[in-house]
Homo-oligomer: A and B are copies of this chain.
Amino acid sequence: MEANRPDTVTRILDVSERLFVEHGFEATSLRMITQQAEVNLAAVNYHFGSKDALFEAVFTRRLGPLIEACLAELDALEGEKDGPTAEGLVMTFIRPCLALSKDPARGGALFVRLLSRTLVENHRLLRESLSQQYSEFAQRYGVAFQQALPELSLETLSWRMHLAFSVMFNAFAGNDVLKIFMRSQIVTARDPEMIVKHLVPFVIAGLTSPVQE
């Protein structure tokens, strides 16, 4: 009947990804995970070693390919004749996030939400294990944006990049800060295309705004 269901490791990862997003790392117990994944309680410690290691495994499964996709887009853009524009650079980040959000096989928007959550929670996993590993990501974008927006000072550019990635992450994660207050006024459809339609112009405008002294 259900012959080709994923193996134990994959089922644990899928359920963990969803539960970590819904309830957070601390509030998600191994019994919740193993119960919904229909595996034995000891399976987590057998396959991953510990709950912390499971969390890291959930992360590395998606973050690596996502960052590689961004860097590949960056390579393609820098290969063109004209220098990269700010909009082009933004799209090299948007497109992989969009593709991930629209792919149910890769958890859809779940992982971006988990990433956003973990960033805000300031987890030690992101501070220690993954920060060094993926420092290339930020360095590449830093250089590229410096090239695309040469009129900005390093301080201003750094701040605008910080703000731009901040709003992009939160948009993809669906963190509706206003949804809490506005009852039914804004229906923030989770449609990823809709996100991009309004997100990209907003970010581009913020990045390319003329400096005022």
A residues adjacent to B (C-beta < 8 A): 24, 26-27, 116-117, 119-121, 126-127, 130-132, 134-135, 137-139, 142, 156, 158-167, 169-171, 173, 175-183, 185-186, 188, 198-199, 201-209, 211-212
Contact = CB atoms under 8 A, between A and B. Distances in A.
Copies in the complex: 2
6 contacts: A26-B26, A120-B173, A134-B181, A162-B179, A163-B199, A166-B176
A25 B148 CA distance: 42
Given A26-B27, A117-B121, A120-B173, A162 B180 contact: no
A138 B185 contact: yes
B165 A177 contact: yes
A165 B173 CA distance: 15
Contacts of A209: 201-202, 204-205
A202 B163 contact: yes
A177 B163 CA distance: 9
A199 B120 CA distance: 18
Given A117-B120, A166-B166, 9 more contacts: A117-B121, A131-B183, A132-B183, A158-B186, A159-B198, A159-B199, A163-B167, A202-B207, A205-B206
Given A131-B180, A135-B182, A180-B127, A166 B170 contact: yes
